[in-house]
Amino acid sequence: MHLRERFASEIRSLWENIVETTFINEETLMVYVSADTDFDEFADCVRDTVYDYVEFDEHLNLILSQMDGEEVVDIQIN
């Protein structure tokens, strides 16, 4: 399994409020979180800890969005 695909799977198991992860292109991973998640707090948590789980050197846009929400947060990795 490609390291970025494994990363997408690992963060889903790490944070249970992640409902879905989908690559929308080679450099962009959409991460949808449950509607009852405190979105700002979760985004801060991801920003603070995401590099603990990154095992690849390529650039990745990690875009967080809340299910049924309009707000998005774009976290640039590498």
Q: Each residue of 57-74: pLDDT tens digit?
A: 889 999 999 988 889 999
CA distance 64 to 50: 12
CA distance 78 to 30: 16
Residue 55, pLDDT score: 81
- Counting as low any pLDDT under 50, the low residues of the chain are 1
Residue 67, pLDDT score: 85
In degrees rounded to 5, what are phi and psi of residue 77? -110, 130
Q: Residue ranges of the domains in the chain?
A: 3-77
pTM, entire model: 0.88
